Amino acid sequence: MMDRLNGPPPLMIVSDLDFTMVDHEDPENLSLLRFNSLWEAYYRQFSLLVYSTGRSPTIYKQLRKEKPLLTPDITIMSVGTEIAYGESMVPDSDWEQCLNLNWDKDIIIQETAKFPQLIPQSDTEQRPHKVSFFLEKSNSSEVIKALSERLEKLKLDVKIIYSNGTALDVLPKGAGKGQALAYLLRKFKANGRTPLNSLVCGDSGNDAELFTIPEVYGVMVSNAQEELLQWHAENAKNNPNIIHSSERCASGIIQAIGKFSLGPNVSPRDIKDFGKCRVNVFSPGYEVVKFYLFYERWRRAEVEKSDQNFQNLKSSFYPLGTFVHPCGTEQPMKKCTDTMERLYGDKQGKQYQIWLNCVSTSQIGSDSWLVKFDKWESTGEERYCCLTTVLLTAKQAEESFTWMHIHQTWLDGLEAKDSSVWFL
Ligand code: GLC
Ligand code: MG
């Protein structure tokens, strides 16, 4: 991750997942897909995406399978008690070491067992530095008060956090989402990589700490829980760097990027007609995001099958280039144009969504680039993904690109059984 950066990242987003990045009331994941295309088009190369979730690694990985979540650079799990890096999720064992200080999980388990109102959560959610329960909202304040008095009397250095009006976590005092972020910022500083701007995003009680870290911007999404709004009213009301967005979840994050002027804030997904778009962004990362949005809309018949659109498409493929299909067969790009023509509208009225993950570009000549990304496709039930490499050359005069060569390979476990359902 650090190798990718050649200086401080312009932006670091630290976002909660459930009901912040992910809207569980949005079955089509529209706001998440808006965020994804914004991030991949403009931010992926130099900025940092950090998820900070209450979920354990087990149920975090489940969510990754269910929702079109991008790969974060860093994953903070189990309410700031576990930190992992990259897609392979290399754990930060220094952080776990830190949390061992004065932490005795067995005593916590013994003491909490004396409170019948505390119902233990599933085994997956009990972690080395996190003991978790369900607690009913109605008498939560009294129980929390009694519990903290009891633990204090025993001189245990713990932190009790109540979230979503349902969950109670007991953690080491030095843990939590805020402390984990502070730890990361210290590490960045030591490497001269402090992000120019950081934006924290959350919706519930365990996110409150994120908003206490100095010099970060913050967004409480419109659908934030009462407990977070109340915390804000009592502790951070006059901080102009924290907003309560008027939009839900990931759309609220985009709103905050605009509000605090942290960088581009128009999601390519919101641009209905790229041809009429005032600002033509001329970058290879933007090009692939834009192309695949057009491709999705083409197959859904949400763009017109006009001569203009078809000519544009045709002129962006180099006819003598080759496309290597993930099943291994090769075809000239000319044939891709024909296939595209044939596939117009074949997904009309169907659930059909495309998103790109981990777009990375490298310039390999004065006007040529290699662009590499995971191209995901979901048809509702099925999900497929291909590692995709594209060779692009620039037509400087027109500020556009030509697709010279495309090569796709299936990602393990995400191949289509019938490879003819996958085109590009
Ligand atoms: C997630 C975790 C749960 C925790 C809750 C609040 O839902 O799975 O264990 O209690 O977040 O932090
Ligand atoms: Mg949440």
Can you tell me which residue has the tokens 């409480």? 220
Q: Report the nearest-CA residue for atom 10 of ligand 1.
A: 167
Pocket test residue of 52, 121, 225 for ligand 1, highest count of atoms within 8 A of CB: 121
Burial of 15 (0-12, 13-18, 19+ CB in 10 A): buried
| Distance from the Cα of residue 124 to its chain's centroid | 23
Can you tell me which residue has the tokens 């403009």? 42
Q: Report the nearest-CA residue for atom 4 of ligand 1.
A: 54
State the distance from the centre of ligand 1 to the C-alpha of 245, rounded, in angstroms.
23
Atom in ligand 1 nearest the alpha carbon of residue 79: 12
* Gap between the Cα atoms of 46 and 15, Å rounded: 17
CB 153 within 8 A of CB 187: no
**Token reading at 223:** 């659908």
State the distance from the centre of ligand 2 to the C-alpha of 61, rounded, in angstroms.
16
- For ligand 1, whether the C-beta of 184 sits within 6 Å is no
- For ligand 1, whether the C-beta of 287 sits within 6 Å is no
State the distance from the centre of ligand 1 to the C-alpha of 143, rounded, in angstroms.
18
pLDDT given at position 3: 67
pLDDT given at position 380: 83
pTM greater than 0.85 (yes/no): yes
Instruction: Say how many C-beta atoms besides its own lie within 10 A of residue 373's C-beta.
Output: 23
In sequence order, the 6+-apart residues with CB closer than 8 A to the CB of 53 are 16, 17, 18, 60, 75, 76, 77
Ligand closest to CA 125: 1
pLDDT given at position 224: 98
Q: What φ, ψ does residue 419 adopt, rounded to 5°?
A: -70, -10
Sheet holding 383-395, edge to edge: 330-332, 317-324, 400-410, 383-395, 368-378, 353-365
Can you tell me which residue has the tokens 């001269």? 192
- For ligand 1, whether the C-beta of 72 sits within 6 Å is no
Q: H-type helices in 268-353, by residue range?
A: 284-299, 307-316, 333-343
- For ligand 1, whether the C-beta of 55 sits within 6 Å is yes
Tens-digit pLDDT string for the chain (424 aa): 656 777 899 999 999 999 999 999 999 999 999 999 999 999 999 999 999 999 999 999 999 999 999 999 999 999 999 999 999 999 999 999 999 999 999 999 999 999 999 999 999 999 999 999 999 999 999 999 999 999 999 999 999 999 999 999 999 999 999 999 999 999 999 999 999 999 999 999 999 999 999 999 999 999 999 999 999 999 999 999 999 999 999 999 999 999 999 999 999 999 988 877 766 788 999 999 999 999 999 999 999 999 999 998 899 999 999 999 999 999 999 999 999 999 999 999 999 999 999 999 999 999 999 999 999 999 988 999 999 999 999 988 888 999 999 999 999 999 999 999 999 9
pLDDT given at position 2: 59
CB 160 within 8 A of CB 180: no
